[in-house]
Amino acid sequence: MVLRGSVYSNTLNMETGLSVITPNDYGQTNRYRVCYVLHGLCGGNGDYSNYTMLPYFAYDKDILFLCPEVQRSFYTDTDYGMAYFSFITEELPHLAKLVFNISAKREETAVVGGSMGGYGALKCALTHPEIFGACAAFAPAPLYLNEWLQKGRESGETEFPDLYGIFGKQLLSSDKDDLPSLLRAFSPDAPKPVLSITVGKDDPFLADCRRFRQELQSLAFPASYQEIDGGHDFYSFNAALRQFIEEWK
């Protein structure tokens, strides 16, 4: 069942969109696993119910899917006050546990997404491994945020004006928003999330994904990595999403 609506966020001080996809027998068991599904830069909370087979994949699974709306925020607490990352990682999980019949266990909580949503999913899992026990990123971008912003500073322009509102006029970010920095700073005492990265062989971010895989390997950070046929589109994201759902135990 697909439910579409909105939720009022105290963190954002406004309503924001939220789609919920439940298994067919929702309500008949004690606690469901929960998976947060993060949309891409040009999308919204209805993308995965509109453009993938997620409602069908969820039909007979013991998983509740939450698809929040974060605009073009790159899942970041922006420089000018919109704390989207705090909303996704703090307020929304709290609200979800109050409203829905879901598990509070990290091993039964996942976060997934494609493109900007893949970046957001990895950022959530690496920053809050105590919440998210599993993470699947489909062609995540930007994997190298600090380098990307540095190019914008050096050239004096960026193809995404949104970035000025997120990171300020100087396009300065901190290591808490940069995935390689989060990997290197990951506490050896923290539980490691189960990471999965999938990218199409014709995806423009293939080279970055291969480079990031080497980062993971150099740090002995366990993760699965797969290259599949396809490009940067929902055809590929759908295939990767289905595989994650089938394999997540």
The Cα 7–Cα 95 span in angstroms is 9
Residues 37 and 58: beta-carbon distance below 8 Å: no
Q: What's the confidence (pLDDT) of residue 161? A: 86
> Closest Cα to residue 36, out of 145, 122, 146?
122
Largest Cα separation within the chain, whole Å, is: 57
CATH class (in words) of the domain with range 2-247: alpha beta
Q: What's the confidence (pLDDT) of residue 28? A: 65
Q: What's the confidence (pLDDT) of residue 169? A: 87
Say which range, 67-71, 130-134, 163-167, 233-237, has the weakest mean pLDDT.
163-167
DSSP symbols for 153-198: HHHT--S-THHHHHHTTTT---GGG-HHHHHHT--TTSPPPEEEEE
Q: What's the confidence (pLDDT) of residue 4? A: 92
The Cα 156–Cα 27 span in angstroms is 54
